[in-house]
Amino acid sequence: MIEAALDPRSQTLPRVLLIHDDGLWLMKTARELRERGFLVTDCNRPEEALDWLEESRPDCAVIDATMSRASGFEVCRKLRTHARGSDLPVLMLVADAGGEAFRLAHEAGASDLWSHNAETPIVAHRIRQMLWVAWLERSAGVTAASARIRGVTPTGRFSWRPESGEVQGDSDLFVLLDRPGDQGVLQHADFLASLEPTDSRRLTVAMNRLLQGGAWNRPEVNLQTLSSGLRRLRIEVQQVVAQPGGGVEVGGRVLDVTPASGAETKVYRLTHYDTLTGLPNRTWLHTRLKSGRGRGEQGFGLAVLDLDRVDEVSEAFGQDVRDRLIIEVAQRLRRLARTSRPQWGQGESSPARIAALAYLGGDGFALLLEDLADPQDAMTVCRNVVAVLGEPLRIGDREVFLNASVGVHIGGESSEDPADWLGRAELARRAAASSGGNRVLMFEPAMSEEATDRLVMERDLYYAIARDEMTMYLQPKFSGRNRRLIGFEALMRWTHQGALRSPGRFIPLAEETGLIGPLGEWAIDQACAAIAAIARTGLNDCPVSVNLSPRQLHDGRLPGVISAALARHRVRPDAFEVELTESGLMQDPEQALAELSAIRSLGVGLAIDDFGTGFSSLAYLTRLPLTALKIDRSFVQEAHCSERSRAVVAAIVGLATNLRLTVVAEGVETESQSQALLALGCDAQQGYLFGKAVPLEQALLMARHAADPMPASEVSGVRAWPQP
């Protein structure tokens, strides 16, 4: 294997272990080397170099001796003491390639040295040169002692007792089987389970034949390894010895015969692996899932992981740093996968483990889970993943924290196609992300329904206005003191497939799809039409407010749309009011400020909705051309019983008074809430106590009776009002 990559005629990509404690240099150099056909494992913690040597099994190493936190020469010396590093070609990059550096590099056992400041193409050339020399030396028999010890082809020895199902092996065997941390004993069935199903069947047939006295045909099997991709192993039987107590022991060896030449391997690598992370890609995952492993079996699962807020990071630090993050995540996942493996021979029942990883592109990764005793096992593994990814990461002199959302799907029903797993895990992942992120969720069938539901709604929402399915309802606002009608809030309703849909469901969808633009314009038009109709009942001074989405604030169209609607319905601007949530305003305060000023200058009112729940700064609030604050329902509902809520309401009323703003309490449901608000100085009130949102005709009835005060005894919501 190692020889294969050293061989300059070889078609496999040489593996380079690149060591430096400067993350940015490492990222840039690794990428440039990858572009030049190397498979690079980058190691930014020199103290972990030996681990990576085991794990990535490089064909050569490049160590930068200009590290600030470690001595490159010391790292090289350490590599040399390790079985895998004793004859590894090592290139040292030094600050100044003078005599002293040469002596140090030579003493540390480096194979070559070059300037740290060299351009990457030159470093790439030195690496090839070094691999070429190593190959020549090896072919000429000028090999280091360890090369003779290890033999030419990586080989591991085993002895297998069919009776007990146990396979014993030397440490090389466990490295070959991609279980480098394990020692001693492996269950034969576990080994078979880690192979492709066809290979597993072939091997079983061959073994049965052997045990019945037949010949051994040296079968070869493919093994998917975490550290170095697909490997081909040849299994040779050297002896079958009868045991004193009955039964036999089969002794032999496993050779790594991964094709050295042949375009096949290279094409496979290029099409099934990602060059940035070195992990298998989506194509590989599909093939793996489709191959049917885990179908109908308990204990298999798939987790899909996506990093949250990576766009913010790349906006702040640039694309290079984003790549660096992805590589770091891949490395952390690899490390987790390695440590999640059961330690054979320790007599434990096998715990859940990460059997394979894949990079899905963008910020997404997939984890194949095995040996799950129950679904909670998968959750535990994944929560651990989220915790490990959450550890801070140094980029230059800054620390970045990564959050991830994970969706998990557990296999089970035999009817289920593992190819669907990805979709299910993905749905769960999206649910995790949209509920705030940095968490793990298990797939539930309701998520499919929810997604289908959304798709149907999305499709139908598009035609909702044209099909006349939208209605504008109006909810009254009252004076708490004299119980008179003082205004309305316009709230949208959608009659979809016979049912009345709540805006809480479809407004976010409209925002995501951009349909909020036309819907919002429709709402403005309807609100103006309502104002005109109310005025025709003879009631003046009864403004109507309309809710706007922050998404509508960014294209500069709003002022024009509002003034056109006012003109169309011949409505006075001071009868029209806009409601915007605090959090919506804070998304792009400067842009919002410009646009709101233009709207305010039309003479229309401007209220902040759900006030108290956002994080707007006072300084910013005073710059906005506001006319009203609406106290959020959460404070209103406890105004009569909670000291804290009372304090918040009092503070908002105080603030509004100082800024000369009206204050409206929303969500008033009981008489005691209403009285408590009055006592705190908040007269304008809205809520079920005074009436729910109703269609225009009903609102007009209220307007006609606005002069009659509502008797307090009859205050019990809509029923108090005459029906049309």
Contact positions toward ligand C2E, by CB under 6 A?
Answer: 475, 491-492, 502-504, 507, 520, 523, 547-549, 579, 609-610, 666-669, 687-688, 693
Q: For 539, phi and psi rounded to 5 degrees?
A: -90, 115
Residue 4 binds which of Ca ion, ligand C2E, none (CB < 5-8 A, kind-dependent): none
Nearer to ligand C2E by Cβ, of 582 and 666: the residue is: 666
Calpha distance 242→470 (Å, rounded): 84
Whole-angstrom distance, CA of residue 525 vs CA of residue 568: 9
Q: Name the minimum Å distance from CB 580 to ligand C2E.
A: 9
Give whichever of 229 and 520 is closer to ligand C2E, judged by the CB atom. Answer: 520
Q: Select 26 or 702, whichever has its Cβ closest to ligand C2E.
A: 702
Among positions 372, 478, 610, 635, the unique one binding Ca ion when judged by CB under 5 A? 610
Identify the helix (H) or strand (E) that includes residue 108: helix 99-108
Q: Cβ neighbours of residue 158 under 8 Å, at least 6 residues apart?
A: 167, 168, 169, 173, 251, 252, 253, 254
* Single-letter residue type at 405: S
Q: How far is the CB of 441 from ligand C2E (least distance, A)?
A: 25
* Residue 609 makes contact with Ca ion by CB under 5 A: yes
Nearer to ligand C2E, 60 or 693 (CB): 693
Does residue 582 interact with Ca ion by CB under 5 A?
A: no
Spacing of C-alpha 482 from chain mean position:
54
Applying CB under 5 A, the site for Ca ion has a residue count of 4
Comparing every residue's Cβ against ligand C2E, the nearest one is 687
According to the binding rule CB under 5 A, does residue 547 interact with Ca ion? yes
CB 625 to ligand C2E: min, Å: 20
Helix axes 310-317, 319-339, angle to 10 degrees: 130
Q: Residue 199, interface with Ca ion (CB under 5 A)? A: no
Taking the complex as a whole, how short is the minimal distance between the CB of residue 455 and ligand C2E, in angstroms? 21
**Residue 503: contacted member of Ca ion, ligand C2E, none (CB under 5 to 8 Å, by partner type):** ligand C2E
Q: Is 577 near Ca ion (CB under 5 A)?
A: no
Tokens of 466: 């044209």
Shortest Cβ distance from residue 713 to ligand C2E (Å)? 19
Amino acid at 366: A
∠ Cα 605 609 611 (to 5°): 120
| Nearer to ligand C2E (CB atom), residue 368 or residue 530 | 530
| Tokens 């593994």, located at residue | 381
Which residues touch 4 (CB under 8 Å, ≥6 apart)? 10, 12, 258, 259, 260, 261
Q: Between 30 and 544, whose beta carbon lies closer to ligand C2E?
A: 544
Interacting residue with Ca ion among 42, 579, 582, 595 (CB under 5 A): 579
Q: Which is nearer to ligand C2E, 304 or 519 (CB)?
A: 519
Could you give the CA distance from residue 690 to residue 673 in angstroms, rounded to a whole number?
A: 12
Quick check: 292 and 388 in contact, CB under 8 A? no
Q: Which is nearer to ligand C2E, 82 or 692 (CB)?
A: 692
Residues 6+ apart with CB under 8 A from 376: none
Task: Using the rule CB under 5 A, give the single segment among 70-78, 124-132, 192-200, 574-582 that binds Ca ion.
Answer: 574-582
- Residue nearer to ligand C2E on the CB measure, 205 or 500: 500
Q: Please tell me what DSSP assigns to residue 502.
A: P
C-beta contacts of 160-164 below 8 A and 24+ residues apart: 160/188, 160/249, 160/250, 160/251, 160/252, 161/243, 161/247, 161/248, 161/249, 161/250, 162/188, 162/207, 162/211, 162/247, 162/248, 162/250, 163/246, 163/247
* Rounded (10°) CA dihedral 276, 282, 288, 294: 110
Least distance from C-beta 662 to ligand C2E, angstroms?
A: 16
Least separation in angstroms between residue 500's CB and ligand C2E is 10
Site string for Ca ion, 360-399 (x = CB under 5 A): ----------------------------------------
What are the residues binding Ca ion (CB under 5 A)?
A: 547, 579, 609-610
